[in-house]
């Protein structure tokens, strides 16, 4: 592949905060950025040179978008396959439509990993009520029922604790194709974000330690508090999956640490929420690294200069009025990132805070303190 130099145009499919931060990093490197999104006034549209607003089945609009870009990338994986294949006929897509096809369906994703020898939580396909009953006899209870498609932030998941409620929970998910997994009482969740360039160079961010609340990532921190063997294994496995998929760009692997071993929970071929700390703690952020990878530029250094933590800012913080930003930013080593979203809803990611410190526990404590100030100052 020929290197795509600054001054050329990068196209981004999707209009959310990940696309926004990708666009900002690309522009800082001198690239022109155009976006394609279905939403008006999206976070990415506020920062890029041009935005095309249309549906993902508008092939004429997609053609015009593709003709303008030297490379097209995505900020989320659930883009219709037909749209991606149409763009690939005109210009390069990174990661490829093949990778995205695997990642946008849990059954395809888990089957691919299992077939290629990567460790996952045991899973069973569910397409009928009879399948569900048979799968439950293998997993036991509790078990987790997940829809195969369109799942993120805990959406499309139900925990089955009583066999009598299984059928009702399956109906809640619309009786669509699902997978059933045993409920894993894991020690912690960690992630690694790998980057692989169009010339095969590989670098990683992490391992990153993650804590969720109500199925939504609440806090990420580095370094992850796991032993050196598991840390090395997580990085090695991430590189192996990238190589297996022949990916260009970023790939995040989420792992469960369970009984002193790693199980892959999910993969995401894009920037990931757990990597936001890299904007303030690393020489090269995950967003800049993705741009470097898809344009064929050399990958940057990723080792953090300190321990760091990131906490998400959800729309719940806006329910009683705007947060008190100044009170929080009085704290040294606190960095605010807002996504330009105009409507704050409970559970919606509106921004994040990052903190840097000597020790990971200090960074975590500082991040939580900074977020608490957003509401305690208002009450006071």
| Cβ–Cβ under 8 Å, residues 10 and 26 | yes
* pTM of the entire predicted model: 0.95
Q: How far is CA 52 from CA 15, 47, 56, 64, in A?
A: 10, 13, 11, 9
Query: Which of 246, 200, 192 lies closest to 222 in space, CA to CA?
Result: 192
pLDDT tens digits for 236-272?
A: 999 999 999 999 999 999 999 999 999 999 999 999 9
Confidence of residue 81 (pLDDT cuts 50, 70, 90): confident
Question: What is the Cα–Cα distance from 129 to 110, expressed in whole angstroms?
Answer: 21
The superfamily CATH assigns to domain 188-379 is: ATP-grasp fold, B domain (3.30.470.20)
Average pLDDT over residues 190-219: 96
pLDDT at residue 183 above 60?
yes
Topology adopted by domain 9-93: Rossmann fold (3.40.50)
Query: How many CB atoms lie under 10 A from the CB of residue 332?
Result: 9
**Tokens linked to 73:** 């990338």
From the CA atom positions of the chain, what is the Rg in Å?
Answer: 21
**Residue 56, Ramachandran bin (φ over 0: left; ψ between -120 and 50: alpha; else beta):** alpha
Buried b (16+ CB within 10 A) or exposed e, 158-167: bebeeeeebe
User: What is the number of residues in the chain?
Assistant: 380
Q: Residue 149: pLDDT above 90? A: no
Phi-psi region of 200 (alpha: psi -120 to 50; beta: other; left: phi over 0): left
For 110-113, the CB contacts below 8 A with 24+ separation are 110/179, 113/241, 113/264, 113/267
Does 378 have pLDDT greater than 60? no
Confidence at 154, pLDDT banded by 50, 70, 90: low
Say whether pLDDT at 161 is over 60. Answer: yes
Give the C-alpha separation, 286 to 272, whole Å.
Answer: 8
CATH superfamily of 122-182: ATP-grasp fold, A domain (3.30.1490.20)
Task: Compute φ and ψ for 183, nearest 5 degrees.
Answer: -70, 120
Calculate the average pLDDT of the chain. 95
pLDDT tens digits, 18-45: 999 999 999 999 999 999 999 988 999 9
Quote the pLDDT of residue 151.
Answer: 60
Which CA distances in Å does 364 have to 186, 290, 317, 360?
A: 21, 26, 19, 6
DSSP letter at 169 equals H
Domain boundaries, the chain: 9-93, 122-182, 188-379
Sheet of 157-160, strands arranged across? 124-126, 178-182, 143-147, 157-160
């Amino acid at each position: 592949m020929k290197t795509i130099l600054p001054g050329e145009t990068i196209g981004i499919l999707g209009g959310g905060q990940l696309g926004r931060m990708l666009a900002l990093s690309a522009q800082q490197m001198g690239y022109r950025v155009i976006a394609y999104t279905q939403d008006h006034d999206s976070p990415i549209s506020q920062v890029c040179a041009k935005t095309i607003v249309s549906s993902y089945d508008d092939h004429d609009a997609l053609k015009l978008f593709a003709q303008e870009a030297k490379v097209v990338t995505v900020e989320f994986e659930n883009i219709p396959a037909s749209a991606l294949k149409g763009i690939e006929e005109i210009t390069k897509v990174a990661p490829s439509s093949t990778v995205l096809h695997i990642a946008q369906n849990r059954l395809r994703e888990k089957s691919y990993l299992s077939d290629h020898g990567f460790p996952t939580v045991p899973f069973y396909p569910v397409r009928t009520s009879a399948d569900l009953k048979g799968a439950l006899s293998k997993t036991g209870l509790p078990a987790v029922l997940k829809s195969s498609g369109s799942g993120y932030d805990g959406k499309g998941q139900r925990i089955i604790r009583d066999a009598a409620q299984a059928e009702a929970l399956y109906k809640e998910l619309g009786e669509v194709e699902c997978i059933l997994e045993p409920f894993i009482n894991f020690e912690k969740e960690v992630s690694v974000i790998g980057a692989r360039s169009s010339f095969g160079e590989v670098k990683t961010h992490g391992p990153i330690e993650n804590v969720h609340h109500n199925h939504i990532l609440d806090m990420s921190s580095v370094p992850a508090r796991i032993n050196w063997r598991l840390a090395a294994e997580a990085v090695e496995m991430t590189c192996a999956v990238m190589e297996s998929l022949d990916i260009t760009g970023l790939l995040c692997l989420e792992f469960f640490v369970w009984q002193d071993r790693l199980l892959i929970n999910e993969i995401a071929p894009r920037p990931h929420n757990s990597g936001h700390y890299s904007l303030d703690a690393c020489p090269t952020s995950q967003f800049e690294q993705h741009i470097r990878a898809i344009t064929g530029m050399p990958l940057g250094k990723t080792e953090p200069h300190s321990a760091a933590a990131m906490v998400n800012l959800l729309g719940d913080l806006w329910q009683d009025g705007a947060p008190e930003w100044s009170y929080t930013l009085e704290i040294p080593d606190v960095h605010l990132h807002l996504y330009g979203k105009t409507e704050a809803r409970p559970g919606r990611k509106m921004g994040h805070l990052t903190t840097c410190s000597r020790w990971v526990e200090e960074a975590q404590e500082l991040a939580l303190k900074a977020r608490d100030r957003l509401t305690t100052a208002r009450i006071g």
